[in-house]
Structure 1
Amino acid sequence: MTNSVFYRIGLPVLVGVVLVATWQLMSNFGMINEIMIPSPAAIVVGFSELVTRGYFWDSTWVTLQETLYGFAIGVSLGLIIGALTGTFQTFRTAFYPFVIAFQNTPRVALAPIFLTWFGFGITSKVVMAAVICFFPVVINTVAGMASVDDNAKMLFRTMGASKSQTFFRLTLPGASAIAFAGVKTALTLALLGAIVAEFVGGSVGLGVLIKELNFQLEVAKAFSVVLFLAVIGLVLYGLIELLERYLITWKQD
């Protein structure tokens, strides 16, 4: 039952339809101020106008580039640092406290600094996206490697396996499921980082578009862009889940 198509896809869609219908009815009866929260119908109309504009798709492409580049850089560095931290005690002792300390800082506050360092172009947004998605990958990778059974490690050593064989045949597969949870979180955070950086100092992108629409009091259109970003996030998350199912075939649902 829980693995059926209806349960995994149909049920969320049904809940979404009910919520949207309730929202629309509340708007129709004046229970919601449409100046503050536009109705779903107004949002659809606003979005239908936006998609006919070339600048909307240009902005979408820029934000996607910032997100994907930042995600690739942040995840790559996160996996490497996480693997080194989980493998070598000296490296963990020396560097992991700094990782935790930096994780607890408000990284959104770094956006103006990156803007000063890298300018108003795409680079500052990519760096922001990379930084904000780096830490979940590091922490989940370390946690995944720590979760590998010590008895299994002992068995590998007694069978004469080298450190590299133990790492690639036991530790890496054993840690991959938890590490991939960090990767999935990182992708949504990369999108968030790109949007925040665009808010602070962008000239093009969906974050800039939302800011401009708010200034113009085009609230319905601004809402439509926000919902469009939510859809992009869901699609990207779904793609990562498909990749996880392909790579981690031994994971149980």
Structure 2
Amino acid sequence: MTATTTTMPPTPRASAPLVARESLWSRIRRGSLWISITTVAIMILLWEVIPQIGIVNRILFPTFSDTILGFGQLVSGGYWWEDLGKTLYAVAIAWVIGVTFGFVMGVALGISPFIRTAITPYAIAVQALPKVVLAPLLIGWLGFGSESKIALAVIICFFPVWIDTMVGLALPNANEFKLMQSLKASRWQVFTKLQLPSAVPMIMVGVKHALLLAFTGVLVAEILSASDGGLGKLAKEFASQLNMSLTYAVVLVVVIIAVALVSLADVVERRVVFWSEESRARKR
């Protein structure tokens, strides 16, 4: 009789390193989270202790607990909601206009060397000007209303969208353009099927950056004009009264809003540029 032996197929070994890499990355992410929490806790502790031991003047630099009390007073007072609404409204309008203008300008300059050569020096010159210098001019032209602070925020926030759009459209290499030409693709098809999809990740970075810049521009305009209301105007009023706990409470609100805007922008970016997120996950 002939004995028959059954050989089991070898167990794939590629999954073990993958699991190890994933678990290592999970440990790194957990470690980064704890580092962030610890850093924030240390900063809050120093914020509370330093004014109490007299290193800085407590009147000018309130403790963290005083700031939280001021925050509670600010929220319970109810009068600041109108200022918050004015700031967020101006940020939203400025961001939409800035992103739209930056995208259109980036596309025009990205696909036309003639327009790029003609317009780029002037756009860079405007961007190089200190925005504090432009603020009085805009207030003089547009008045103390929301128009001037929206205009300043648009000037500040359109630039990253313009640059990232223009650079992103140039990302495809020469071979990819030759492939599209060999397929008899029209100029519009090259733009929509090749250039624009390649540029979307960079455009989203510019859009996210523009959101924070629009917020910053509106706050700067509110502090300088202080007539149409807003969080910047509110902080300036409290500071002029040496009510520093309420001033820092407004600053705390600004920080919370900024973190929320960045988090929201990150979520939208992951949804829109999902293929880039999957690519990064595979590399990990």
With normalisation by structure 1, the TM-score equals 0.94
* Contact 1:2/1:8 (8 A) holds in 2: no
| Equivalent-residue separation in structure 2 for 1:26 and 1:112 (angstroms) | 38
Question: After the TM superposition, which residues 36-185 of structure 1 pair with which residues of structure 2 at under 5 Å, given as runs?
Answer: 36-185=60-209
- Residue 163 of structure 1 aligns with an amino acid whose one-letter code is R
Q: Contact 2:60 / 2:242 at 8 angstroms: preserved in 1?
A: no
* Residue in structure 2 matched with residue 19 of structure 1 by the alignment: 43
In structure 1, the residue matched to 2:249 is 224
* Alignment-derived partner of residue 28 in structure 1: 52
- Of 209-218 and 20-29, more deviation after overlay is shown by 20-29
Asked whether the equivalents of residues 149 and 222 of structure 2 are also in contact (C-alpha less than 8 Å), the reply is yes
Q: 3-state SS of the aligned residue for 2:83?
A: helix
Kindly indicate whether the alpha-carbon contact (under 8 Å) linking 2:52 and 2:58 is maintained by their aligned counterparts in 1. Answer: no
Whether the 8 Å CA contact 2:101–2:158 is kept in 1: the answer is yes
The reply on whether 1:213 has 2:213 as its aligned counterpart is: no
Of 193, 196, 201, 2:220 maps to: 196
In 2 relative to 1, CA 99–232 (structure 1 residues): closer, same or farther, beyond 3 Å? same
**Within 2, Cα distance between the matches of 1:9 and 1:172?**
35
Q: Distance in 2 between matches of 1:23 and 1:202?
A: 29
Quick one: distance in 1 between partners of 2:42 and 2:264?
A: 26
1:205 maps to amino acid: G
For 1:236 and 1:23, how far apart are their aligned partners in 2?
A: 24
Counterpart for residue 240 of structure 1: 265
Per the alignment, in what secondary structure is the counterpart of residue 167 of structure 2? helix
Offset, 1:216: 0.5
Structure of greater Rg: 2
Once the 2 structures are TM-superposed, how far is the Cα of residue 93 of structure 1 from its aligned partner? Answer: 1.3
Structure 2 alignment gaps of length 5 or more:
1-23
User: Residues 137-195 of structure 1, C-alpha deviation per residue, up to 9 Å, x if partnerless?
Assistant: 11111121222222211211112111111111111111111121111111111011101
Q: Tell me the distance in 2 between the aligned counterparts of 1:88 and 1:7.
A: 47
Q: Please state if 1:186 is matched with 2:210.
A: yes
Residue identity (%): 35
Q: How many angstroms apart in 1 are the aligned matches of 2:257 and 2:203?
A: 23
Q: CA RMSD in A?
A: 1.6
- How many residues are treated as equivalent by the alignment? 253
Deviation at 1:207?
Answer: 0.5
Runs of 4+ in 1 over 4 A off after TM superposition: 1-5, 7-10
Matched residue SS, 2:103: helix
Looking at structure 1, the residues matched to 129 and 66 of structure 2 have their Cα atoms a distance apart, in angstroms, of 39
TM-score, structure 2 normalization: 0.84
What is the alpha-carbon distance in structure 1 between the residues aligned to residue 85 and residue 32 of structure 2? 30
Residue pair 1:108, 1:193 contacting (<8 A) in 2 also: no
Deviates more, 1:3-12 or 1:142-151: 3-12
Q: Which runs of 5+ in 1 are unaligned?
A: none
By how many angstroms is 1:238 displaced? Answer: 1.3
Query: Which shows bigger deviation, 113-122 or 203-212?
Result: 113-122
CA distance in 1, matches of 2:194, 2:114: 21
| CA contact 1:121–1:202 (8 Å) conserved in 2 | no
- Give the letter for the 2:107 counterpart: A
